[in-house]
Structure 1
C-alpha cells in the first residue's frame, strides 16, 4: 500500500511517500480503508523526536493518529463492526509505528467509533484527537458544569474550537483567546473572544471580574502562568501543553483513546452540538506540507490529509 513514513527523526523533509507493507489485522483490530486523516501538533512533535522519552519508535514510522474511513476487514474477535461500516478512530498505540497517513490502517477496536453521518470524511477525521481532548478535559479533569465561566486558550484551533462548543453545551460561559482575525469565528462557536498578548489578564478580568472557574490551557508558558492568576477561589487549571502546570496547582493531561467517549462525540456531532472546521486539505503525497502548516501554529480548526480512491 501507499503511505507516508519516516525512517529517522527530523524535519518535514524526512517524510517519504511510497510503498510499505500492508498492515496485518489482529484479532482485536479492524482494517480501515482510509479516506482522511487529520494533522495534529503531536504528529510533527513525534516526527522530531520530542516524545521519544515516552514512545518507542519502530522505524519506518507511519505518522498520524486520527482517521476516518470504511471497514474492510474486522479482526477475528470483532463483533462491533462489519464490512462497509463508516468509522472514525483515535488510533494511538503505545509505540510509534503504524499510523493513519496511509491507504489502510489496522486500528485497535478500543480506538474506534461510528462516523457521524452528517459529517464529511474530511470533517470526521478532525474529530477524534481534538474532540476527545476537549471532551475528557472538560468532563473528567476540569469537571465543568452549568454556570461555570471557562477560559479556553487558542479557542479557534483544533482542540480549542471543539472545547468552546462542548463547554457551551455543558451550560458554561466561555471566554476564548484568539487572534483578532479569528474573533468572529470564536463568536460563531458561542465564545466571547479576547486577544492574545500584553494586557491579556486585564481583558479577561474585564469580562470576569470575580475570576474564571476553569482554565483550559493549550499554550503553556507565560500564558499558563497568567491563567493561574485569573482563577476564582476553588478554580481549576489544566494544561495539555505544559507539564509545569502542576507547580501552579493544576493538572497536566494527555488524551487517551476511549471508544465510549468517542461515540459520545460522534453522537453530539450528529445532533449538531459539535462541528469541525477544516481549514485546508492536502493529498496524502503532500503530507509534509500539511506538517509544515500545522507547525506554524496559526491554523483555524483542522488540517486534513486525504486519500484519493477511484472507487
Structure 2
C-alpha cells in the first residue's frame, strides 16, 4: 500500500509517498481502507521538530490522525465493527495519511450515511479541538465570545458550537469570509490594525470569553479586552498561555474522543453543524496540501484522498 513517510525533521520537502507492507490487524484492531484523511497544523509542527519535546518521533515516520473509510479486515475482539462498515476515526500512531490504516476499535465510530467522505475524514482533530475550546471557556446563554481565525478549520466549527451554546459570537476573519460567518449567526469582524476598536464597537456590553485558534498576539488582545484569563483558551500560542495563565486544555471534564466524535458526526448528519472543506488533494500531492495549509488562509479543512 501507499503511505506518507519522512525520514527526519524538516519542511514539506521531506515528505514522500512510500510503498509499504499491508498492515495486519491484531486483537482489538481493524484495518480501514481510507477514503479521506484530514491534515492539521499540529502535524506540520511535529514534522518540523517544533513539538519534539511533546511528541518525539521515530523514523521513518508516518503522518496524520484524522481518517474515514471502510473496514477492510478485522482482528479478534473487533466488537461492533465488521468488514464493509463505513467508519470515522483517528490514529494515535501518526499513520492516517495512507491507503490502509490500523485503528484501535476504541478510536472508531460508525459514519452516518449523510456525512460526506471528505467531511468525515477531516472531522476528528478540528472537531474535538473546537468542542474542547468552547467547553473550556464555560460559555453560557447570553455570553459574548470572540473567536480568532473564525473561518479556519477549527475556528469555523468553534463559532458554530459557541452559537449552539447560546453565546453571541464575534468571528475574526478576512472580509471574504464574512458572508459565511453571517450565514451562521456570527458577527464578522475583520482582523488587522484597529481590530480592538472594531470588536468594542460590536460589543458594547463587553467580551466574556475568547477562543484563539491562530496565535500571534490574540491572547494579549483578549486580555486588553478585559477577558479574565480563566475564560481565554488558545490552541496556538503556548508561550502566551504560560506567561499569562490562560487555558490550553480541552475543558473541565474531558470526554473520550470517540464519544465527542459521535456527537459531532450526529450534528453534521442532522445539518446542524457544517464542516467547510477548503480543498481536497490526492495523497500523491501531500506536499502541495501542506503548502496550502501553511499559508493559513483557507476556509475550513484541507483533506487528502488516497
Superposition TM-score, scaled by structure 1 size? 0.92
Aligned-partner Cα distance in 2 for 1:50–1:25: 32
Aligned-partner Cα distance in 1 for 2:30–2:144: 41
| Aligned position for 1:220 | 215
Picking from 148, 155, 159, the partner of 2:143 is: 148
Q: How does 1:82-121 map onto structure 2 within 5 Å?
A: 82-93=82-93, 98-121=94-117
Q: 1:209 to 1:92 in 2, by over 3 A?
A: farther
What SS is found at the alignment partner of 1:25? Answer: coil
How much does 1:163 deviate? 0.7
Q: How does 1:185-204 map onto structure 2 within 5 Å?
A: 185-204=180-199
Q: Is the 8 A contact 1:153 1:177 kept in 2?
A: yes
More strand by share: 1
Q: CA RMSD in A?
A: 1.8
Aligned-partner Cα distance in 1 for 2:16–2:228: 51
What SS is found at the alignment partner of 2:266? Answer: helix
How much does 1:232 deviate? 4.8
Q: Is the 8 A contact 2:137 2:230 kept in 1?
A: no
What SS is found at the alignment partner of 1:80? Answer: coil
Please tell me whether residue 40 in structure 1 is matched to residue 40 in structure 2: yes
Q: Which moved more, 1:247-256 or 1:33-42?
A: 247-256
Measured against aligned partners, the alpha-carbon deviations of 1:14-36 in whole angstroms (never above 9, x if no partner) come to 11112012223232222111001
| Aligned position for 1:291 | 290
Measured against aligned partners, the alpha-carbon deviations of 1:104-133 in whole angstroms (never above 9, x if no partner) come to 111122322222321210121121110111
What SS is found at the alignment partner of 1:34? Answer: strand
| Aligned position for 1:302 | 301
| Aligned position for 1:62 | 62
What SS is found at the alignment partner of 1:123? Answer: helix
Q: Is the 8 A contact 2:35 2:117 kept in 1?
A: yes
Measured against aligned partners, the alpha-carbon deviations of 1:213-261 in whole angstroms (never above 9, x if no partner) come to 2111112232220112224568710110112224334111369861111
Aligned-partner Cα distance in 1 for 2:289–2:227: 39
What SS is found at the alignment partner of 2:59? Answer: strand
How much does 1:176 deviate? 0.5
Q: 1:45 to 1:8 in 2, by over 3 A?
A: same
| Aligned position for 2:277 | 278
Aligned-partner Cα distance in 2 for 1:290–1:158: 14
Measured against aligned partners, the alpha-carbon deviations of 1:149-186 in whole angstroms (never above 9, x if no partner) come to 11111000000001111111121111000011111122
| Aligned position for 2:176 | 181
Q: Is the 8 A contact 1:39 1:305 kept in 2?
A: yes
Q: How does 1:125-140 map onto structure 2 within 5 Å?
A: 125-139=121-135
Aligned-partner Cα distance in 2 for 1:174–1:283: 35
What SS is found at the alignment partner of 1:61? Answer: coil
How much does 1:73 deviate? 2.1
Q: 1:80 to 1:148 in 2, by over 3 A?
A: farther
How much does 1:303 deviate? 0.7
Superposition TM-score, scaled by structure 2 size? 0.93
Aligned-partner Cα distance in 2 for 1:68–1:142: 30
Please tell me whether residue 122 in structure 1 is matched to residue 118 in structure 2: yes
Q: Which moved more, 1:183-192 or 1:31-40?
A: 183-192
